[in-house]
Amino acid sequence: MRSFFRNAFQANQPECCDLFGSLKKSLINDVWIALIILAPFGTFAGVCRALQTGVTYTLVIQSLLIVAIVGFFFVRNNFTVPTQAIVAIACLFAIGTPALFQFGFYSASFLWFFFATLIVAYCFPKHLVYSVLATSAMVLFAGYLFVSGRQTLPVDANVLIHQLEGWGAAIFAILLFGMLMIKAISAYNARFHALNIKLAEQKQQIEKLANHDQLTGLPNKRLAIDRLKTAIELAKREQHKVALLYIDLDDFKPVNDRLGHDAGDWVLKTVAQRLSTTIRKSDSVCRVGGDEFIAILPAIKSAAVMQQVCEKLIAAVAEDIEFNGHRIHIGVSIGVSIYPTMSDCEATLQQIADQAMYHAKQRGKNQFAFAQDVAFA
């Protein structure tokens, strides 16, 4: 059973990868929509600047890039998502690079580098440091060229500063693209968060199925053993006792034979509910198979208390169960072992509790028996 649920979880991993891949696909699609919206405004900004500076190689390169962006936009679905992301990143770097080396900080080129690096962070996080280093190196190198006099502005700086039309168009284009990028990333983050919640719920459900009985909802034997070990470890530290009860239903097989498996399932669910509500919230009832249950009771105080618990459990199970007009009467036999009075070994506690349960069953229905007739210290 454990391997079944593990295999089921592993089988879902390719599906999870597909879901995360679809998120990146949606993000890159939004980026390309932002680029195609940017194209006409970028063209207008370039023309406005060209009226003052004349035709520059920056304008020529950016014009060719706009044509390339429009062309790639319509055929982008023929390429993989990583390829689309790389082309988008390259376009943004290519928009900013010529402006940086021709106009220096009188251009807004570093903002295009920022947008490109942002896409790298979401699509290729392992390569983010390389993107940051490359961007920093380009900016520093361009600064060195201008400071050293190896590169000069194509026109007087005052002309660039007071070119209101060019700056206005450029700022509008950058703000528009920035808003579209914020929208795309916000949508990605929202979808990513929703997907994580969905996957966490699926994982929790798989773990629940792996650790709980599907019919009764009680912990199964695997979880029961873990809880017993935990209870014993806690008892060692706090110097108290733990009771382990092996519980087996009496006359359960005739119910299945006479009324069918639906009746048997109803009896098991009813018994599970009665056992759970009879013990304390700090105690655990688990179904270990068929008509067998175990109960783990930490911090027990006396033999008299344990006897009362067993009597309450027997009385609760003994009440008639209604099913489709039939009254079903079920008995229960209980075997009790105590840590550390009867054993300090978890496996031994299970063994002697099981033996005590069979001893109780041999004495008649609705009986309980302690593994050893040892008084509590």
Is residue 291 annotated as a catalytic residue, yes or no? Answer: yes
- CA-CA distances (angstroms) from residue 145 to 155, 156, 163, 268, 305? 16, 17, 24, 83, 88
User: How many whole angstroms separate alpha carbon 159 and alpha carbon 291?
Assistant: 91
User: How many whole angstroms separate alpha carbon 332 and alpha carbon 295?
Assistant: 13
Evaluate whether 185 touches 118 at the Cβ level (below 8 Å): yes
Evaluate whether 276 touches 317 at the Cβ level (below 8 Å): no
Q: What is the dihedral of CA 42, 43, 44, 49, to 10 degrees?
A: 90
Residues 248, 291, 320, 344: which is the catalytic one?
A: 291
User: How many whole angstroms separate alpha carbon 115 and alpha carbon 299?
Assistant: 61
DSSP state of 219: B
User: How many whole angstroms separate alpha carbon 128 and alpha carbon 213?
Assistant: 47
Picking from 231, 270, 258, the residue whose alpha carbon sits closest to that of residue 349 is 231
Please count the other Cβ atoms lying within 10 Å of the Cβ belonging to residue 168: 12
User: How many whole angstroms separate alpha carbon 75 and alpha carbon 336?
Assistant: 74
CA neighbours closer than 13 Å in the CB half-sphere of residue 153? 14
Residues 6+ apart with CB under 8 A from 41: 169, 172, 173, 176
Residues 6+ apart with CB under 8 A from 228: 242, 244, 296, 346, 349, 350
Picking from 283, 280, 249, 285, the residue whose alpha carbon sits closest to that of residue 267 is 249
Which two tokens mark 165? 């039309």
Length of the chain in terms of residues written: 377
Strand pairing of 292-300 and 284-289?
Answer: antiparallel
Residues 6+ apart with CB under 8 A from 14: none
Which residues are catalytically annotated?
291
